Amino acid sequence: MFNLKQIISSIADAGQKIFNRSDIKKNDINSILDLCDDLISNKGAAFGITVARDVTKLYQILSPENKLIFFKRINEKYKANFTEVDEAINLYKISPNEKTLANLFKASSGKRRELFTRMNMAPNGTSIIIELREDLLKVLKDNKDLKVLDDDLRYLFKGWFNPGFLKLEKITWDTKAAVLEKIIQYERVHQMKDMNELKRRLGEDRRFFSYFHPALEDEPIIFVQVALTKGLGKSIQELMKPSNDEKKNYDTATFYSISNCQEGLSRVTLGNFLIKRVVYEIQEELPHIKNFGTLSPLPGFVDWLSYVEEPKIKNILANIKNQDVSFLKSKDLKLGDSRIIENKEAITKLVAHYIVNEKNQQGLPVNDVSRFHLGNGAIVEDIVINANVSEQGYKRAFGVMVNYLYELKSIEKNHEDYMNNNKVIVSDKIKKYL
């Protein structure tokens, strides 16, 4: 044990490389757990930064197997003490008041959150804890017992990544290359192969915004890409074309991509704040832009169609004649298949049905992109055939994309209708297909 104590470097060696010292056992569960004990103790309060640094460094060099063991051990070790909880319950039962309640709250809290809070004092602590959650998410499916550990992390992240702590930054061609490189890497919706493709998205008729967190320098958290258009954009391929110089009378901001960057922050929702904040920024900069909406993908539609029964399809398409969508299920569907256009009405009807009527257990749309925008107060404005004529676009949804419209004067009412009554609001245009 003694050598373990020594690795708690005093301030004096704060600059030293701890791993040059012979008495450190790398990739050793007991070493790191002993340090965790120190961190959570009084010593952690006094020497927190140093101890936290050592814990995070040791964590990073654990093998994947040991990381799993580490998760299980801290999950158990720092959970609430059931005896203390029982005592707190007793005290509360005898005299249920704010004081006994506070005691109960504290007893039931456990120490896992406190452990992570103290680890956060380390240099790059926040970044390493996000990485830790990424590691945790990978093993979560096979280790359901760790879900409570993940809940604790997510609880903390919601506080740490409060929109009030985030900085919005405009990404331009004047942004440092190191950040742009990460942007390329993190873009998930419409991928870019190099800096040139990114440059087009930073042109004068485009806007690109990202949230950053002060503790994560040069690390985008979530970003959104906007095209200035005349009316809502109807084709991803059009949006990716080089800009021609003639000034168009742009009146619309089409949000065509929104990407979460950090796996470790999954389910810490920031997208809705980002969209609204960017709408505000664009209104300030470009007062002549009056309409705000999206050109969004339709993930899950292909899957859904593959499972849905023929009679149900017939039923949906009831009053349409001479339309046949069976080719969508065939393997010979190729990029640009002319039958897509020929059966435009039927496909639109199917998509409208899928978005509006197919619900999950909570009575909300099964499609999660829809849920996101509807929850924000947007409406389903349009369904666009051949909006994404690419392999990926066809694979995702036969090239179909959806315009959601953020009508500023009614988004709040829309939101309430959706939240309180599960009501999916669609434009008059779409109503015809339902």
Question: Which residues in the 96-155 window bind a copy of itself by CB under 8 A?
Answer: 96, 98-99, 101-102, 104-105, 108-110, 117, 120-122, 125-126, 145, 148, 151
DSSP state of 142: T
Determine, following the binding rule CB under 8 A, whether residue 404 of this chain makes contact with a copy of itself.
no
Candidates 264, 297, 377, 399; binder of a copy of itself (CB under 8 A) is: 377
Structure tokens at 24: 């450190």
Is residue 415 near a copy of itself by the rule CB under 8 A?
A: yes
Q: Is 159 in the site for a copy of itself (CB under 8 A)?
A: yes
**Contact between 61 and a copy of itself per CB under 8 A:** no
Identify the H or E element spanning 293.
strand 291-294
392 sits near a copy of itself (criterion: CB under 8 A): no
Q: How many positions of this chain bind a copy of itself (CB under 8 A)?
A: 84
Nearer to a copy of itself, 49 or 333 (CB): 49
Q: Which of 324, 335, 416, 432 binds a copy of itself (CB under 8 A)?
A: 416
Torsion angle, CA of 381/383/388/389, rounded to 10 degrees? -150
Per DSSP bridges, beta strands 252-260 and 220-229 are: antiparallel
Stretch that binds a copy of itself, among 91-99, 318-326, 328-336, 384-392 (CB under 8 A): 91-99
Interaction mask 352-371, a copy of itself, x per CB under 8 A: --------------------
Footprint on residues 244-263 left by a copy of itself (CB under 8 A): none
If we measure between CA atoms, which residue out of 400, 424, 425 comes closest to residue 300? 400
Six-digit token string for 169: 């930054």
Query: Residue 128 or 298: which CB sits closer to a copy of itself?
Result: 128
The residue among 148 and 341 lying less far from a copy of itself, judged by its C-beta, is: 148
Q: Does 271 bind a copy of itself (CB under 8 A)?
A: no
Q: In this structure, is the dihedral angle defined by the CA atoms of residues 300, 305, 311 and 313, taken in order, positive or negative?
A: positive
Q: Taking the complex as a whole, how short is the minimal distance between the CB of residue 187 and a copy of itself, in angstroms?
A: 15
Work out whether 272 is an interface residue with a copy of itself (CB under 8 A): yes
Nearer to a copy of itself, 25 or 182 (CB): 182
Judged by DSSP in three states, 373 sits in helix
Residue closer to a copy of itself by CB (options 272, 427) is: 272
Q: Could you tell me which residues are beta bridge partners of residue 426?
A: 380
3-state secondary structure 27-84: CCHHHHHHHHHHHHCHHHHHHHHHHHHHHHHHHHCCCHHHHHHHHHHHHHHCCCCHHH
**Shortest distance in whole angstroms from residue 215 CB to a copy of itself:** 6
Instruction: List CB contacts of 12: < 8 A, sequence separation 6 or more.
Output: none
Residues 281-310 contacting a copy of itself, CB under 8 A: 283-284
Helix (H) or strand (E) holding 229: strand 220-229
We find the least distance from the C-beta atom of residue 167 to a copy of itself, in angstroms, to be: 7
Q: What 8-state DSSP symbol labels residue 164?
A: G
Cα of first residue to Cα of last residue in the chain, in angstroms, is 71
Distance CA 358, CA 352 (A): 10
**Interface of this chain with a copy of itself, residues 171 to 230, rule: CB under 8 A:** 173-178, 180-181, 194-196, 199, 214-215, 218
Task: Report the nearest approach of a copy of itself to the CB of residue 120 (Å).
Answer: 4
Across-strand partners of 226? 207, 255
